[in-house]
Amino acid sequence: MATPPNNSHNHDPHEIEGVKRRGSKAASFPWIRASFFVLVCGLVVVSQGPLPGKIWRKLKSLQNHERNERPSQPATAEDGAAPVTVTPPEPPPVVPPKIIVPTDHTASSGGDIRKMSKGFILETKVSVEKGKAASLERVKDESYTASYELKIRLPEATRTMDQLHQVNPELGSMLPGLAAMLPKAQVSPFFYQLYENKTKRLKLKATKLDELMTRHNFYDCETMLKLKNESTGRRLLLVQAEMDVVSDGSDGDRLPTMPDKIVNSTHYQPMTSYGWRKTGKTPNPLIAGWKRRIENANKELALAGTSAERKSWLRMRIAKIKREIQDMEARSYLIADYDPFIVMPINMVTARGDKYAAKVGDYAVVAYKNKLYPAIVGDAGPSFKVGEASLRMAKELNPRASPYSRPVSDLTVTYLVFPGSADKFQAPDYSRWHERCSSLLTEVGGLGAGVTLHQWENTLPEIETDTESTDTTAAP
């Protein structure tokens, strides 16, 4: 690039226009450098004595005095001129900081993991040892390590009435026959298997602290006992636990329409383990949503950018959805919003050889506080948790219960299951359930004085039927 000409547009801003610089013959000698050198030498000499401290204190005093006096002293003109008042400049306006409200106000990642919601205490300690050269230590894994140990205590199952009364003081008075059966009670092997499954799950997730189950969910079962009435021979499985909520199930014959949020939900399950052959012609309301899933999957399969692995998964998903549609076309299921049922671990309901294992369809009674509720085992859940019931049951125990809020968080719910008591699978008949549970309770000692078994009402909406009107008026 060419050097721009020396004109008025690029002159020195400190140069007075129209006055040329005059060079000095004395400029050939570096007076400035020499003066600076002498000054430095003088300061070095002076700094060796007591004078520098006094000088600096004096300079600082003068500086403070000048700062304090300057604003109050008006400037004056020389030679008797009228004093000139100098107005100090106004301070710049204070601009408040601009706060941007976040659209997603969440906690930042990281933080102190000792305060995790999982419920365990994480103890930390930094150990320091003497090592060798840094160039050697930096290449050794053992030079810079961190470790943690998750310690858990496996609970023992409670066996006595006194222990059960610690969680439900009303249990003995509601069911007086329990006291005679408890001395010979045996802990169900499924209690030990439950906590073994929980421990295995913790080991699999040990390196993922954010995926560990909480302490609350780990200790969700107080006991699981095999009881038998010696007089009648009736077997009873007693489970003491909390209560989580299940909100699944569908039946076109009893509930032909369901809200769009359920039909289009990707989490709602239309089937329960308890089901029966469909008797009506009204289609299951969730089939429409399942067919839309197939349409969306086929659209994704047709995209050029869909990977081969994704296409393989989509094809398997389509096949699974088609099988579920066929099942919904042929069968009906319980509806958690309307039918009172409980859920037991899948490893129990599918086990063979244990006469005390709960099976799908077995009659059951839920005892909470001073009330008893008839039910059936209607579904199977994960093998690492216990204590679940339908939304209908949950709301009866606590009206504030919802699919996202459990009705009972403490281990104060007693589940009484009568193994081998299941009838033929069919649409719920609450009167039949009440009758069967009343009879089964009598076989294990009956109810205490003044105790009654809850009677469920049918809360399903009435199905409107179209009636064709016939005009019987004769034509004129």
Q: What is the mean pLDDT of the chain?
A: 82
The whole-number pLDDT of residue 72 equals 45
**What is the span of the domain harbouring residue 307?**
253-334
Indicate whether 201 and 345 sit together in one domain: yes
- Mean pLDDT is lowest, of 5-19, 76-90, 149-163, 437-451, for 5-19
Judge whether 369 lies within some domain. yes
| Residue 265 pLDDT greater than 70, yes or no | yes
Count structural domains, the chain.
Answer: 2
The whole-number pLDDT of residue 39 equals 56
Judge whether 296 lies within some domain. yes
Indicate whether 318 and 431 sit together in one domain: no
| Residue 313 pLDDT greater than 80, yes or no | yes
Indicate whether 237 and 341 sit together in one domain: yes
Q: Average pLDDT, stretch 225-240? A: 97
The whole-number pLDDT of residue 27 equals 43
Judge whether 267 lies within some domain. yes
Return the residue matching tokens 């085992």: 377
Q: Average pLDDT, stretch 467-473? A: 44
Indicate whether 318 and 342 sit together in one domain: no
pLDDT tens readout for residues 121-160: 777 788 888 899 999 999 999 999 988 888 899 999 999 9
The whole-number pLDDT of residue 16 equals 34
The whole-number pLDDT of residue 123 equals 76
> How far is it, in rounded angstroms, from Cα 42 to Cα 380?
95
DSSP β-ladder status, 388-390 and 235-246: parallel
Provide the CA 248 distance to its chain's centre, in angstroms.
20
Indicate whether 419 and 329 sit together in one domain: no
The whole-number pLDDT of residue 436 equals 98
Indicate whether 329 and 340 sit together in one domain: no
> How far is it, in rounded angstroms, from Cα 460 to Cα 450?
30
More confident residue, 306 or 13: 306
- Mean pLDDT is lowest, of 148-157, 245-254, 399-408, for 148-157
* End residue of a domain, out of 281, 313, 334: 334
* End residue of a domain, out of 283, 310, 334: 334
Strand partners, 345: 381
In this structure, the chain runs to a length of 476
Band of pLDDT at residue 37, cut at 50, 70 and 90: low
Indicate whether 239 and 165 sit together in one domain: yes
Indicate whether 416 and 433 sit together in one domain: yes
What DSSP line would sit under 370-424, residue for residue?
TEEEEEEEEEEE-TT---EEEHHHHHHH-TT-BTTB-SEEEEEEEEEE-TT----
What DSSP line would sit under 118-136, residue for residue?
TS------------S-HHH
Band of pLDDT at residue 251, cut at 50, 70 and 90: very high
Band of pLDDT at residue 75, cut at 50, 70 and 90: very low
Judge whether 311 lies within some domain. yes
Indicate whether 300 and 378 sit together in one domain: no
Judge whether 130 lies within some domain. no
The whole-number pLDDT of residue 19 equals 37
> How far is it, in rounded angstroms, from Cα 331 to Cα 275?
6
Band of pLDDT at residue 64, cut at 50, 70 and 90: low
Indicate whether 216 and 326 sit together in one domain: no
Judge whether 182 lies within some domain. yes
Indicate whether 347 and 425 sit together in one domain: yes
* End residue of a domain, out of 334, 353, 369: 334
Judge whether 440 lies within some domain. yes
The whole-number pLDDT of residue 57 equals 55
Band of pLDDT at residue 476, cut at 50, 70 and 90: very low
Judge whether 112 lies within some domain. no
Indicate whether 268 and 201 sit together in one domain: no
Q: Average pLDDT, stretch 83-110? A: 60
The whole-number pLDDT of residue 282 equals 95
